[in-house]
Structure 1
């Protein structure tokens, strides 16, 4: 079930910046034969990625036609990295924008589901492959201050486990990455230590090569999951305090 980076043909959603860009860079550096960089706005893909060999593909993971077109155009893919994400920085029940949770679910859950459904036959036709879902520690436990992002990422975690069970007979593995705080635009409002996106990408690809089901990618993810396991009530109350201390809400999408 293990798929190696070297010689692979990979498709990365939201590959124009942040963790997605890091995955594109790590795949190219690791000897991938071809790396497709999916982006809602192709013009935003950095020249450095194009020069390095990334193949830019227009993609909106919430648009069925866009996803199907990408799968048809990229029939040689053996690795899919579902990275595109949306964090609305709004509350869930007491939301300023009641539609934000729906948009977060569309991008963070239905987006990966759309990609998996479209590319599963492609991977199977190519002898099997690997799918990597870039998730969040907020999806591994209820995280109040993340609003609709937390339940959307939680749904994507369940999706990863179910998809793995369905696709294993076709030789395709599915790996879920539990990511903590990373130095990206999406987390520019978060204080404290942040991981380099390249570190997250390198760890994620290592987990893929080993055929792992779930991998905590950084110290924050490991520590947070341990704290929640030891005392879930304390964790939930702590997240509620963080939420109630928040005074400004901005929107970020990758």
Structure 2
């Protein structure tokens, strides 16, 4: 029997609405650093242009609501907003090496979208110890240095390492690049600059060797405490953002 494979259409992706951009902007505000401040300001400007009817739909600052990551591979968009659900992210998406902010639209943790990541097998690792051990020892690898992630669950079909070469996670603090992100057992994160595993999966420790350290448990506790504080702040302000949006719509400002 003859079967055909269909490629997802880019038409399933669309420009974000003002409400969706406001949710994304709220998520970006939790990040720190100059790059994140630039991202926040760029998104705020785009929101103002959309409200005035002056926005360019093809602008890289125009956030894109993504249901098809195959169709988003060549998209110029820097801000990708993801609705609830599960989505496959192909390896080609990461080969673009673009600065991307991938943000789940739902605020509730239970509704955060799941990204099933396809890593690149036997890709050259940024880890000094992995290079010394030989590339065949490294699991599937994703260069995630240019990705900022928020309100997401990350999964993979096979053990996959997100390698990050960025000072924002110096010392193993993931909150500089990842906010409200959950990692399945098949996901590990490597701080390439410090050559340390941020989660410490057994399979990753075996692959990278005993010389590659695991971040101190105290850092994880500090990180959890910080995210707990942020969750409390979100619990106060997110309902206010929703109410403000409804008032704006009632007054015809949106």
The TM-score normalised by the length of structure 2 is 0.31
The TM-score normalised by the length of structure 1 is 0.31
Structure having the higher strand fraction is 2
Structure with higher RCO (Cα < 8 A, 6+ apart): 1
